[in-house]
Amino acid sequence: MDSSTTTTISSLKTTISPNPNPNRTKKTPTLHYKKTKLPSFSTFKSVKCIHSPPPNPKPSNSSPFICTAVTFSPSETTELVPSKLHHLITEFQSLSQPVDRVKRLLHYATFLSPLPDSFRVDSNRVMGCTAQVWLEAQLDQYGKMRFWADSDSEITRGFCACLIWVLDGAVPEEVLKVTTEDLTALNVGLPVGARSRVNTWHNVLVSMQKRARMLVAERDGKKDFDPFPSLVVSSDGIQAKGSYAEAQARYLFPDESKVQELVKELKEKKIGVVAHFYMDPEVQGVLTAAQKHWPHIHISDSLVMADSAVKMAEAGCKFITVLGVDFMSENVRAILDQAGFGEVGVYRMSNERIGCSLADAASTPAYMSYLGAASGSPPSLHVIYINTSLETKAYAHELVPTITCTSSNVVQTILQAFAQIPDLNIWYGPDSYMGANIAKLFQQMTMMSDEEIAEIHPAHNGDSIRSLLPRLHYYQDGTCIVHHLFGHEVVEKINDMYCDAFLTAHLEVPGEMFSLAMEAKRRGMGVVGSTQNILDFIKQRVQEALDRDVNDHLRFVLGTESGMVTSIVAAVRHLLGSTKSSEKAKVNVEIVFPVSSDAITRTSTNSTSGLNSVKVGDIILPVIPGAASGEGCSIHGGCASCPYMKMNSLNSLLKVCHHLPGEKNKVAAYEAARFKLRTPNGKSIADVGCEPILHMRHFQATKELPDKLVYQALYPDSNGRSIS
């Protein structure tokens, strides 16, 4: 708790009369406040319980609760939780001043039963709370949930007291019916750190619900939960849980001879390396280690790769090797040419095509037909995901004025465009999941206050968001085969067993995963965005834990391509190694890989001819057997590993480096060639295809669309094509 909050609480405590005996006999927290008359619920009259913690942390056969009556009719048990919750909502909403709500919380904190030391263990910690919070839950012999909680923050103790008053003694089904939206209605704004404190309501509730699910499963004799594979990073090292995690961890400490071999080639021949986060773990492990010896190695999302290549050329690199899919090397080649570095060679990592399901979706006749409809609805703007080919960008830009976007800036790009161009129609593509998620996000914004909307974009309010929704269109037939893997079964398992963890999700995931991560984001436990957004979120949460300087275990569910883990682990290890926390404080960071239970793991030792193929959209892919022990990939959800990205092998990188510069002919098929084709208007594909990227650069620098693009949208030529 920060000092200003502590001061506020100290001054408030003088107006409240807490129980003078801290060792008082525990009683049911009736939560009566002196000046508030609680409603008389007939269903409460038949029950009088003394809520006492058991003498040991293990449940016993005897109930730890002494009740004069424990029988309810079905209607009574159904109404009990909603009635209590309704009372709390009415009570807190009646207090117009935040200071009065704080007083009420501090008063209720005095009713919270002391928590035995045996319950103050790491496994009982509630993640995501600024303060330390412990929660114990048991299912009693009558099938009712029993909860105990405590915190080192008095305000948080008040939160816990209220939640326990509402949910203690309820059947599990009633505990699971309460939503974080119900708690939002309590209107508990605090003078200092309001958002982080209010998140405590939500995070404690989610932990209560997770415990209820687990206890019911145990009672019903259901199979124990098989955890997803994970990597646990601590200052002592890395622990892999599960064979898939072991495979990832194997390359975090690469062969030093491979590292030195690569560094020698890069230094002698002045070769720069730009790689995407989704690289094969072996390649990323070697590159991460090599970064310490050669500065011109950069691992990032697709947006930054071309920028990094330009900086490397400016620093004297003669060649740039691109570890990604083909549209990434195309972008690097075109941007280097635009920057005046046409003599710098650009090399891919395969002599075959390295595709991308999204880029392929945007190069189909169906996508051009989609843009044809856009060209007939002026004023129109085409917002295209950067994960598309330069050729697609060029053709699209001549049909409809086009600006590229990334998953980290797409929302701001669209909102700015709607604010800057009256009556604009926006056509987003090609990622259907991202388009649907953006539309859903804007729908959710209509339920926000104007002040909350202004925090997202100052030019908008509720009316403007509602007015833009009918003018937002997105392509319906483009998906990323990696993020498509986050299907129903995986999401259901995350919701059941990892709901109290930090959830990360790329904007390209299906709607179920998006909704789950957005709910977590609202209570400070999630992030939805780009790969860089995910990395930054994890780093921020780890740093916050280190700053608190108390033992903590942070768990993050990785909702994107598993190749991200190398950069995440490297960043986390750096933070854990550089902290100056006390010797007693120990922070562990667990990275969880969602994997489908029906993942394919077996193959014949004699032949691969028996393997089937899977159709994902228009793409036919062979089924690749996964790791052992039931872990691997499937179309229903899995290890989220891109087969195209894995074409960028360490051997290919070393091969290209070995043959440069004297034996270019041996790697000629690896070179990223310049576009020689022309657009329908007779212009260079490279020139026209780069313009939407440059429009995005302008937006990133100024937060406004360039005048040229606005003019193109407002005044298309007589043939329906934008003026370039």
CA distances from 240 to 127, 255, 644 (A): 21, 19, 26
Rounded Cα–Cα distance for residues 183 and 528 (Å): 22
Structure tokens given for 464 = 């403007």
**In angstroms, rounded to a whole number, what is the distance separating the alpha carbons of residues 397 and 517?**
33
330 touches 347 (CB < 8 A):
no
- Asked if 624 and 643 count as a contact pair (C-beta separation under 8 A), the reply is yes
Which one is catalytic: 129, 480, 657, 690?
129
The encoded tokens of residue 220 equal 């019903």
What contacts 40, CB < 8 A, 6 or more positions away?
Answer: none
Pairing state between β 271-276 and 552-557: unpaired
Which positions ≥6 away from 338 have C-beta within 8 Å? 690, 694
Q: Around Cβ 573, how many Cβ atoms within 10 Å? A: 17
Q: Is 222 exposed, middle or buried (0-12, 13-18, 19+ CB in 10 A)?
A: exposed
Residue with tokens 């409603």: 39
DSSP characters over 388-446: S-HHHHHHHHHHS-EEEE-TTTHHHHHHHHHHHSTT-EEEEES-HHHHHHHHHHHHHHT
129 part of the active site: yes
Joined tokens for residue 702: 């100024």
d(Cα 724, Cα 722) in Å, to the nearest integer? Answer: 6
Which residues make Cβ contacts (< 8 Å) with residue 693, sequence separation at least 6? 306, 331, 334, 335, 386, 393, 404
Q: Residue 548: enclosing H or E segment and its boundaries?
A: helix 531-548
* Coil vs helix vs strand at 502: strand
d(CA 332, CA 321): 10
Strands 133-139 and 472-474: what pairing?
A: unpaired
Side-chain half-sphere of 473: how many Cα atoms within 13 Å? 17
Q: Which residues are catalytic?
A: 129
